[in-house]
Amino acid sequence: MIGRLSSNISDDTLSRAMAVSNLLSNDEETELNIILSDKEKLNAIIQSARAILEKKSFPEAARAIFDQCCRITGAISGYVALLSEDGHENEVLFLESGGMPCSVDPELPMPIRGLRSVAYETHKVVYDNDFMKNQWVTYLPSGHIALENVMFVPLNIDEKTVGIMGLANKPSEFTDADAEMASVFGELAAISLTNSRYLEKHKELEENLRLMANTDNLTKLANRRSFENHFRWALKNSQRNSEWLSIIIIDIDHFKKINDSYGHQAGDSALIDVGSAIKQACRENDYPARWGGEKFIVLLHGADADQSLLAAERIRAHIAKVNVVDQNITASVGVSTLLPSMTDGPMKTLDQLVSAADKALYAAKSSGRNRVVHVMHPNS
């Protein structure tokens, strides 16, 4: 019976059975494709998120996110641009022509107009699958690649569009599903931009704090702490290369009289102008600093007795040109020079040099001020 039943199945029944079987197979294949597609999308999102964490700059992260977005949507060309400070133009980070010839200069301004402006105004993804027949095609600059279809993905931060990702030339048409996926990548790019800007501000804050910790607030020269740290490095270098180290100490003449007669504001002006004069007189590798009060100090790398004396005289002459409240400013200068031994510690050596330079400074004061006195350190 079973054998006969099998042989009695009509051709029509067999055809319908095969059709159902094929339908089931197609459904399974469709489901598998959906699973694979979802997995691919998830992987692209993960790769984009990883770029946010790993890339050192926003342009690098933006490029990685753009590439993943193109892979998922099927776009083969496009760009990422940020809104200019005046809010009227896009500043292009990069252009991808998709292998097609393009002679457009990415440095050229990209005005906010056409379909692009709709994305900026609505803060939503917009696309056009027949762009070359649209009125907006007239906005394309000479040398631009042909655009069969386009999609603009806004980069939104705090409900403001601060940039845009442009996608173009998908072999088929863009769909709402593409727009939905592209918006995810736009959000990831916006997160990356937010992080990048935060890091830039953080670095700027760190640099400002570092400068505040190492800079004299009034004269903007290095402060005493910074000078001492620099001296440690300079001493090691000097010992390694057996080079001379010289220190110049400058003290403004009659500074108390300036403060008492004209006020502390005039005194501050004198300190600022003298600090500027010292900096102008120094060589590129010299290290000037405010030592405290009306005293300044300069470290000379590789300067022997004769060279340090010339440098000190140059500084003194520059200061003599300073005029505050119709008063000519002068300074007394002491110089000490040392060929560092390998046994002296940095602070001991600095104290020795400063002590010797101070003695020379007081000798300059005692002999009439506005002059330079040099001494060799006893260990030299």
Could you give the residue numbers annotated as active site? 294
237, 241, 244, 245: CA torsion to nearest 10: 0
Residue 339 main-chain phi, psi, to 5 deg: -95, 105
d(CA 311, CA 298): 10
For 21, the token pair is 């079987």
Cα–Cα distance measured from residue 19 to residue 79, given in angstroms and rounded to the nearest whole number: 47
Q: What angle do CA 108, 114, 116 make, to 5 degrees?
A: 75
Residues in a beta bridge with 155: 163
In whole angstroms, what separates CA 109 from the centre of its chain?
23
Structure tokens at 290: 């405010």
**What is the full DSSP assignment across 312-372?**
HHHHHHHHTT-EETTEE--EEEEEEEE---SSS-HHHHHHHHHHHHHHHHHHHHHTTSS-E
